[in-house]
A and B are shown apart, each in its own frame.
Chain A
Amino acid sequence: MAHPPASGPQMLTANCLKQGDVVYWKKGGWVLEFAEGEVFANPADANAALAAAEKFVTGNRVVAPYLFEVRVENGKVRPVKEREIIRGAGPSVRTDTGKQADHV
């Protein structure tokens, strides 16, 4: 999907090739938890991470990496779009599934 340039903070996400799991970029690698993902305050850092992620694509570790916007409120990071909130947690109608299931 097309992602317009963002001005606010961003995070980098992809899917794990083997399992399909949603993963988030953290300091040159990937983590499963949204809360542990790295937040890029400026577009240059975000784009640099996206470029760096390419080696994980060619290395067949992840597929389809992209940046998405987040907002920081009271020190808590939250995706701007509903799509990324659901992707980070799991289906809102099945809280026993997805990443949220581990926190129940």
Chain B
Amino acid sequence: MYRYDEFDAQFVAERVEQFRGQVARRLSGELNEDQFKPLRLMNGLYLQLHAYMLRIAIPYGTLSSKQMRMLAHIARKYDKGFGHFTTRTNMQFHWIRLVDVPDVLADLASVEMHCIQTSGNCVRNVTADQFAGATPEEIEDPRPLAEIIRQWSSLHPEFVFLARKFKIAVGATPHDRAALQWHDMAVEIVRNGHGQVGYKVIAGGGMGRTPYIAHVMSEFVEREDILAYLEAVLRVYNMDSRRDNIHKQRIKILINSIGPEEMRRRVAREFDEIKQTGTLQLPPEELARIAAYFAPPSFEKLPDVMPTGDADFENWKKASIHAHRAPGYAIATISLKAVGETPGDISADQMDVIADMMDAFSVGEIRVTHEQNLVLPHVRQRDLPQIHARLKAIGLATPNAGLITDIICCPGLDYCDLANARSIPIAQKIARRFADLRRQHDIGELKIKISGCINACGHHHAGHIGILGVDKKGVEFYQLQLGGSGAEDASIGDIMGPGFGEHEIADAVERVVNHYLKVRRDGERFLDTYRRLGMEPFKNVAYQEQLNAAYNG
């Protein structure tokens, strides 16, 4: 893992003390709320529905066991004993008191964590493939580049007051686990025709009110030029974006209004200028220095023998285990989607046990996924029965990763000040409805994603089945979308039609899924069947109950 150098440590410590002073000045009245709000937001502190919420950055979703224990400590001491992993792979605490925040930040700084740039119109937490450094599919570990991007974009003087927030992700495999095409900008590590490793850069993806899939900016950027190229994209965005209309301020709007060709032209012009100055070249020795922090652990020489066990273990293995680059090792996903619980929530006690397991089984490291699960990246296959047993003891052995009950869900109106409708109870209801594991296996890969408002923190546009909560005269309604994808076959879900009531939406989802089971062809996922048949047949069954009521009423 990356470790702070003396400058990082000093900077974060100074920032904590600055904020301590700012809080003191706010409490004494020296600063009013209008003056204080931008300062607290720069430190990830929001005022939400019930209390202050603190959002903690987890760069590229990587946590050490020490950091996990600190999150448990904060949950216990300053919050209500639990935290929430977000779709940006951050952690949120929902019950923080303003007076405690400086101490929380100091505790975080002691384990090389902070909340800087988890809010505001700046480059947000950089995310990456959760299987980084472990999957045999990747060209190289994407985290060194993600760390370099993090360093470059942290307090970048040109980019701390962008028109809107800006999200970057990095991947290195053809199988996209980081929703690259939905980002403001993303980098895919690729190999060109000559076998040379470089970077494909895409930009202009995004969810929210106006969803777009990203466009290719460059198929291949040389290693040493990557920061210059990314800076060129951000510079064009910063200069040319609409600052006069909040709904048109993201880079996706700029690119889709001037067209990707024109955007590429402007970026190329800027890129040439930056290159001529020669100030942003990435020296190979610097890349190597950062990459050394992410050097693979020394794997033991182990036989590739996957252990077997009872039905519980086999089911968990089927859903949670992925192939590892080293023989005798595996990647283990920990689902935070126990049926009936809040997706992404984890208690302080669970965090402590997980931290111990990270030390015992996975070189002290874990990953947070944008699907709100955790991943132990380097576990010995022979340890899997023990890992499963320990997870089961703390209620985290739900064998549903990648299945219909592994639902992405934002906090919604239960916590969020911006939300129009609750999303968590809908996720819980659907999960209970499909709790039967045999039925889940029969359905296969089906990703449900739920947002409580159009901001789309729950990624509903990218759900095979997406659900958007809306407010209709104070009453919660839920729109269904079908056919979205956040993977390498990215697509924007189609809106089905009028929304369903709180008590109708799970039934509608079930009718859609049952229809899929009836009409699917061999080997087809829900998404494949939808793409083959289109909306109409699914719409007909989803609204069947409403039609019956209309005829019979």
A residues at B contact (CB < 8 Å): 1, 15, 17-22, 57-60, 63-64, 80-83, 86-87, 90-94, 97-98
Chain A residue nearest to B411 in the complex (CB): A91
Picked from B28, B33, B47, B421, the residue with its CB within 8 Å of the CB of A20 is B47
Q: Which 10 A-B pairs have the closest CB atoms?
A: A20-B51, A91-B414, A20-B52, A81-B474, A60-B29, A93-B424, A19-B97, A63-B33, A18-B99, A97-B80
Please measure, in the bound complex, the distance between the C-alpha atom of A57 and the C-alpha atom of B33, giving whole angstroms.
9
Provided the pairs A60-B27, A81-B474, A91-B415 are in contact, do residues A18 and B98 lie with their beta carbons within 8 angstroms?
A: yes
How far in angstroms is the closest Cβ of chain B from A90? 6
- Inter-chain contact total with CB atoms closer than 8 Å: 78
Picked from A1, A20, A59, A97, the residue with its CB within 8 Å of the CB of B98 is A20
How far in angstroms is the closest Cβ of chain A from B450? 13
Provided the pairs A92-B422, A92-B425, A93-B428 are in contact, do residues A86 and B51 lie with their beta carbons within 8 angstroms?
A: no
Contact B425 A93 (CB under 8 A): yes
Contact B28 A60 (CB under 8 A): yes
Please measure, in the bound complex, the distance between the C-alpha atom of A63 and the C-alpha atom of B49, giving whole angstroms.
13
Chain A CB within 10 Å, residue with most, of B29, B96, B414: B414
Q: Which residues of A contact B415 (CB under 8 A)?
A: 91
Provided the pairs A64-B33, A82-B413, A91-B415 are in contact, do residues A20 and B26 lie with their beta carbons within 8 angstroms?
A: no
Chain B residue nearest to A96 in the complex (CB): B80
Please measure, in the bound complex, the distance between the C-alpha atom of A69 and the C-alpha atom of B422, giving whole angstroms.
20
User: Can you add 4 more A-B contacts, CB < 8 Å, to A19-B98, A20-B95, A86-B413?
Assistant: A1-B417, A18-B98, A20-B47, A60-B28
Q: Which residues of A contact B419 (CB under 8 A)?
A: 83
Chain B residue nearest to A57 in the complex (CB): B33
Q: Which residues of A contact B80 (CB under 8 A)?
A: 97
Please measure, in the bound complex, the distance between the C-alpha atom of A76 and the C-alpha atom of B50, giving whole angstroms.
22
Contact A97 B49 (CB under 8 A): no
Cβ-based interface call for B549 (8 A): no
Q: Which residues of A contact B413 (CB under 8 A)?
A: 82-83, 86
How far in angstroms is the closest Cβ of chain A from B36? 9
Q: Which residues of A contact B421 (CB under 8 A)?
A: 82
Contact A82 B475 (CB under 8 A): yes
Cβ-based interface call for B476 (8 A): yes
Q: Which residues of B contact A19 (CB under 8 A)?
A: 51, 97-99
Chain A residue nearest to B415 in the complex (CB): A91
Provided the pairs A15-B47, A22-B50, A87-B49 are in contact, do residues A60 and B26 lie with their beta carbons within 8 angstroms?
A: yes
Chain B residue nearest to A82 in the complex (CB): B476
